[in-house]
Amino acid sequence: MPHKITLTGLATGPLREYDRYVAFDMREKGSPSAPKGLKKSTFISYTVFVAKKAFNKTGLTKKSIMHEKILIQGEPTLDIPIDECPGEVGVICFQITVLPNKNDKEASAPPQEQNNKESTKQQEEQVPVSQPVANEQKKEPESVQPEVKETTVQEKKAEPQKKQMTNQPKGTQDLLSFDDIIVPEEFLKTRPNPEKTQKVIDFVKRTGRLDEPLTIEKGSNVLKDGYRRYVVAKTVKMDKVPVVYEYQK
């Protein structure tokens, strides 16, 4: 019997439309607790194929699919051509569901909080009427408010720095110069699978970025995982590559 697979997450690549179906890429982390002696798996990339009718019922668009968390239930397949399936595993989707965001849940709660804040403000305004001395004491904290506003402005200014990583693969912590990466000899003696390497090259040419970050040891910049993507970055002559840090034990 065919195996079934369930995926949750965001689309990592643009929506591609065909005659009767659409396709997009997504990925999931491997097992966080690998058995002793085995290396922890990083990310697995999938290419999902969905019938147009089922996709249209979700209300998703080319733009919204990159920001909505979705649930995919389907069956893995290896019969899709490489040109149409850049992911490591192809998935024929039987059911696609849009999952609610945390922001949507929080949006329903604020009205009660706002009512509580308004009631506390009314109480604070009523107290100084019977206590004139308290007015002088409460005037001083007003000078503190601009500082609070300044900190919020600084936080907003800091936000664009995070947005700079949006064009990079999920999980990227930093952009590191390609020449700063040190490759161990054990990697240099191996040769990545040519077909999988070509898939990553095609993905970079299509999207302008790697599909996953390289795992680098913090401080020493030694490559720990992602040698195939290192070879691809060298092939396409990338100046900087997305990395995720692994700290020394």
pLDDT tens for 150-197 read: 555 555 555 444 445 667 888 888 898 999 999 998 888 888 898 999
Given this model, what pLDDT does residue 122 score? 59
Whether residue 125 is contained in a domain is answered as: no
pLDDT of residue 161: 47
Q: 146 in a domain, yes or no?
A: no
Does any domain span residue 189? yes
**pLDDT score at 215:** 93
CA 73, 4, 34, 246: dihedral to nearest 10 degrees? -40
Boundary (domain end) residue, out of 103, 130, 161: 103
Which of 49, 82, 103 terminates a domain? The answer is 103
On whether residue 197 sits in a domain, the answer given is yes
Q: Cα 42 vs. chain centroid, distance in angstroms?
A: 14
pLDDT of 100: 85
Low-confidence ranges of the chain (pLDDT < 70): 1-2, 29-35, 38-41, 102-166, 249
Q: What residues form DSSP beta bridges with 244?
A: 215
Asked if 229 and 200 count as a contact pair (C-beta separation under 8 A), the reply is: yes
Q: Which two tokens stand for residue 133?
A: 């001395």
**151 found inside a domain:** no
Q: Is residue 153 part of a domain?
A: no
Q: Report pLDDT for 153.
A: 52
Residue 195 CB contacts under 8 Å (≥ 6 apart), including other chains: 82
Residue 100: DSSP 8-state: P
The pLDDT assigned to 216 comes to 92
Q: What is the CATH number of the domain that holds 235?
A: 3.90.1530.10
Tell me what pLDDT residue 169 has: 85
The pLDDT of residue 14 is 86
Residue carrying the six token digits 């085995």:
38
Angle between helices 227-235 and 194-207 (to 10 degrees): 60
Domain contains 152: no
CATH of the domain at 72: 2.40.50.140
Cα separation values, 130 from 118, 123, 134, 138, 153, Å = 20, 12, 9, 14, 36
In the chain, how many domains are there? 2
pTM for the predicted model, two decimal places = 0.40
Give CA–CA dist 88/27, Å, rounded.
Answer: 10
**End residue of a domain, out of 54, 77, 103:** 103
Q: Is 115 inside a domain boundary?
A: no
Domain that holds residue 217: 174-246
Same domain, 15 and 96: yes
